[in-house]
Amino acid sequence: MSLDLTLRNALSGIQTSQAALQTISNNIANANTEGYARKIADPSSRVVDGRGFGVEVGEIKRSVDEGILKLLRKETGVSEQLKQKENFMSQINQFFGRPEDNSSITHMISELGSQFDALAVSPESDAAQFMAVAAAEDVLREIKQMSDEVQRLRNEANTVLNATITEFNKHVEAVASINGQIINFTNSNLNATELQDQRDISLTKLSE
């Protein structure tokens, strides 16, 4: 083996070790970076005309379980869906109130029924008539207020929906753009793992 070949082999080993150390350094530096996936430098033997010619860094890969990522996105979507439902349903539930509360619509309707029963027993009683009318007015007033609140929630939901659609479209466009860049990097034999990390972030946002 010539001295030149020996030096080239040694140099390739140094360069490969340097690339591996750089990968490890990036992993440590980005340990707490959201969306960053650990990278693995995969060295491989370099062969020229059937003879060993040092070593080189092969494809740098991400240490990612795509199955878990897919499951995480699915469950993230379900979780966000339930959060939105809970947000609006809890507000509607406040309008109805608890049946045992005097201010709840259930109690008011029950009270109206009681006043109608009393009125049926003594239809000529001014007090019974007054109480029945007052109970009916309380129910109508509460229903009107509940209707106004539900309409407010509907408008709020529409506002949130419009903002969400805008956000969704933004991330869809980002994924499409990143996919194009990944294809270009791959065709040029360039490392596209950082772009894949960015795509994962956008996909996670989409799942929300």
Cα separation, 45 vs 48, whole angstroms: 10
Q: What pLDDT score does 141 carry?
A: 92
**Tens-place pLDDT, residues 86-129:** 988 888 888 877 767 777 888 889 899 999 999 999 989 999 99
- The average pLDDT across 159-164 equals 93
Output the average pLDDT for the chain: 84
Burial class (CB in 10 A: 0-12, 13-18, 19+), 193: buried
DSSP 8-state class, residue 103:
T
**Per-residue confidence band for 29, with pLDDT thresholds at 50, 70 and 90:** confident
pTM of the complete model: 0.63
Q: 177 — phi, psi (to 5°)? A: -65, -45
Percentage of residues of the chain with pLDDT beyond 70: 85
Residue 14 has pLDDT above 80, yes or no: no
Give 142's contacts (C-beta < 8 A, 6+ positions apart): 105, 108
**H helices of 53-207, where?**
66-96, 105-121, 126-187, 193-207
Residue 204 has pLDDT above 60, yes or no: yes
Q: How many CA atoms lie within 13 A of 149 on its CB side?
A: 15
